[in-house]
A and B are shown apart, each in its own frame.
Chain A
């Protein structure tokens, strides 16, 4: 009441209450300021969003402008004479026999013919035009369809990455010959191939289906993609049930005592631990103590599960807490046990929130590099992992490695791989939204 009396003005009534017209005048006076503050606040918000959007646009523009060309590369078409005796000396089409055969020679011959290269230096220059992966292509073509042996086939091979860069205009003819990786002879041959319409710019199947390679034109993300899938599966299988169970226990069953309090604080703190620490943990425990092999998705998944657990637990607990208590009362009121109340009502209602948390955690895990470097998933592995115990790498680590290579083509492939990673992330989020919507519609 004293407050009111302090505010008393000539217009106020004697009982301390303000008269309506005085109040109305003061409200009117304050409205201008209030509106202005609101406007200012709103404009701050708009500026913040604008800046964020601008950065996003710059980021996407740069990634896409660099990355889209990374999805394409140059190929050359050659007429290869597939001599049975030369390509398959043992005649049994076994891998051994094919590798003993002279695929390289067959391709070279076709190349010399197409370019008209002759002489030692001319042939050497012509040989450098084509990718080293060409022989593998040829062997694969023979395995896929042995009937082509003994015929002459028109075949498409990737060009070497330096030639690719030249064709894209990254290597200029005007640079002195000694300073460029393509000599004048090669340029002559390339010009001829272009004039003969043998060169085409096409979608890069190596990028999608190729594995790690030191040759930029052959390098692809398939191995890393499979590695990511395997690692994430391990991570999901471990982290989701464990996280949800922990959240349910802590929210509904744990006694409120010192111990659970300490556990809770630790879980919250774990969410803020730098991810590389989990990598060191994995290195020390799984590889150091248990002596498990390095570089395998199994350990990568376990490490990432440790890293994502706090995220899943925290968001699951929030989701459980968000279930209205009246639902619990209702279930308990008809005689459901605590367990039944949880399993039949609370957990299903909290599931969309739990899934969101899980997918956010998985997205984090998908983009994680540091802890995986610690456990050796950065190794150069050509083979695509077939199981969680085969050595492998993951997408972000692959990107990280490529970003380190000097070749021009790796720069583009790095951006292309980033686009694939982003697409992967976006589809994961889309899946999350879809699952949420579907679950929510049920009620």
Chain B
């Protein structure tokens, strides 16, 4: 797929500088430098350089298969679980290289949490779903503290009122939208610094989507959020910055308003106006 002709506007070499717009920010939480990700011999991410700012929402958009998920999963090393996946370049979280040999992925993933495309609550009770992370990381010293964490997480995820009377019932018995908010509650229960969301609303109806978007908006006060989305409107609504990927490359990145009203790169403009993608 990578051998396919370089699309218009991307003829010159594959240097990171090719990205249009400002990839750097003033106080970055995550800095990615010249990141390449391979699946076997296949290059899925090609020289991406990008800063992710603290307590902001950045959305990744781009056509299917362009590597948004791959890049997102590189940020908390979820790609490690795929045997054939290999990564080159450098990703730092708060100035620390997360791919350094001494880094343990367990605390890393506690700091960089993840919400998946399909709601995937554990087949356990609602309470246990949220309590699982704090339990394994030893965040609560007693039951009361754990109860507090669970309650607060569910409240922050906007799910408390709906489930407070049925905490012992299975999480899988909730509606899709509720399940996704449960997954968000589960993620924030371990107090991460960054939350990665891979198309969190793609399995939800518009009302559930609106709730999640509202939630993302609120959470951005406290967390740094990276969201992959196929919905232009969603990106426009929830994010401060937007990054457009194409065939494994980061084509353009900038303030969301700027990107949507006045994209600099021709490919971005084509994609946003629906001419391809």
Binding site for B on A (CB under 8 A): 256, 324, 326-337, 340, 344-345, 349, 443
Contacts and interface: CB of A to CB of B under 8 A. Distances in A.
A315 B69 CA distance: 33
A57 B97 CA distance: 71
A332 B104 CA distance: 13
Contacts of A324: 120
B118 to A, nearest CB: 6
Nearest to A328: B81
B170 A333 contact: no
A333 B114 contact: yes
Contact of A335 (B81, B115, B170, B190): B190
B191 to A, nearest CB: 11
B170 A327 contact: no
A333 B118 contact: no
B132 A344 contact: yes
Given A328-B81, A334-B109, A335-B190, A443 B132 contact: no
Contact of A334 (B118, B123, B132, B172): B132
Nearest to B128: A344
A328 B80 CA distance: 13
B106 interface: yes
Contacts of A336: 106, 132, 136
Nearest to B124: A443
28 contacts: A326-B118, A327-B120, A329-B116, A329-B120, A330-B120, A330-B121, A330-B122, A330-B186, A332-B78, A332-B81, A333-B76, A333-B109, A333-B116, A334-B110, A334-B133, A334-B187, A334-B189, A334-B190, A335-B107, A335-B108, A335-B113, A335-B137, A336-B106, A344-B136, A349-B123, A443-B123, A443-B170, A443-B172
Contacts of B133: 334-335
Contact of B106 (A327, A330, A335, A443): A335
B26 interface: no
A388 to B, nearest CB: 38
Interface in B159-209: 170, 172, 183, 186-187, 189-190
Contacts of B189: 334
Q: Which 10 A-B pairs have the closest CB atoms?
A: A335-B110, A326-B120, A443-B123, A334-B133, A333-B114, A335-B109, A330-B120, A337-B106, A335-B106, A336-B136
B120 A335 contact: no
Nearest to A336: B136
B11 interface: no
Nearest to B111: A335
Contacts of B106: 335-337
A331 B116 contact: no
Contacts of A349: 123
Nearest to A329: B116
B122 A326 contact: no
Contacts of B132: 331, 334, 336, 344
A256 B83 contact: yes
A337 B136 CA distance: 9
Contacts of B76: 333
B79 to A, nearest CB: 11
A207 B39 CA distance: 67
B109 A332 contact: yes
User: Which of B108, B136, B186 gathers most chain A CB within 10 Å?
Assistant: B136
A334 B120 contact: no
